Copies of this chain bind each other. A is one copy, B any other.
Amino acid sequence: MNTLVPLHDQLVLGKRKLKAIFGSSPSRTLKAGELLGSAGAGEGIYRLRAGWACQFHDLPNGRRPILDVYLPADVIGLDGGVHVRRLEDVRTLTAAIVETISIENGLVELVADRPMALYITFLLSLRQRRSDCLLAAISSLDARGRLAMMLLDFYTRLRRRKLISGPNYNLPLSQVQIGNYLGLTVVHINRVLQSLRSEQIVDFEKHRVTILDLERLVFMARNGGKAISCAIGCEPALNEAAA
């Protein structure tokens, strides 16, 4: 544990460096629904200066589940920087400003710097962690639990970045897209959203989320929708390591 502080310092340094590189990179303004990798053939590395984006995964099935949702300040495309093939595509959900590192071997150069290499592995593990949480939620929570998880996730991420301060935020996903993200159908999403509103837990209207009862929302995101009479240890705690 004695080497933990220098590690942290290196991460901070790497973060700063990467930010500087993105800052001096060309930035584009995109409208809602545009592909991030539209221009060139090769994959790039992106950073959302503003706006939301999301990552699809095309199935031969015809379905297009959403694998991840990116918020302002997120870095996109670090995975896949080494791969050749591409099953996914990333699209903006809103109008957005994107900073791009377009060099084909961008990752090769970034990784040459040790703090930045560390920070990149850190970012990759963050994305992995998001996938893990979503996966856990989808495979073991019912619809209400998943919805609660999603709404809380966006809420805490926005809050941590100081993009919001109150109990409400803008969620630029249609109900169809929410369904594709959570592995449910529109119809069901709609019904669950209504029941959540009628129970004064969350309100989602006109792409505007208002959290009415944070405690119950947290509880549902952990335990699923059906009320479980829990004896011990159900005190909701919202602490997340903000490394």
Give me the interface of A with B, judged by CB distance under 8 Å.
Answer: 1, 3-4, 7, 10-11, 42, 57, 59-61, 63, 65, 67, 78-85, 87-88, 104-105, 107-108, 111-112, 114, 117-118, 120-122, 124-125, 127-129, 131-136, 138-141, 180, 182-183, 222-224, 233-234, 241, 243
Contact = CB atoms under 8 A, between A and B. Distances in A.
Nearest to A134: B135
Contacts of A81: 121, 125
A136 B57 contact: yes
A183 to B, nearest CB: 3
A82 B8 CA distance: 9
19 contacts: A7-B105, A11-B82, A57-B135, A60-B222, A60-B233, A65-B135, A81-B121, A81-B125, A82-B125, A88-B132, A111-B114, A111-B118, A112-B114, A117-B117, A121-B121, A124-B124, A128-B128, A131-B131, A138-B183
Given A67-B132, A79-B125, A131-B135, A108 B118 contact: yes
Contacts of A78: 121, 125
Contacts of A122: 82
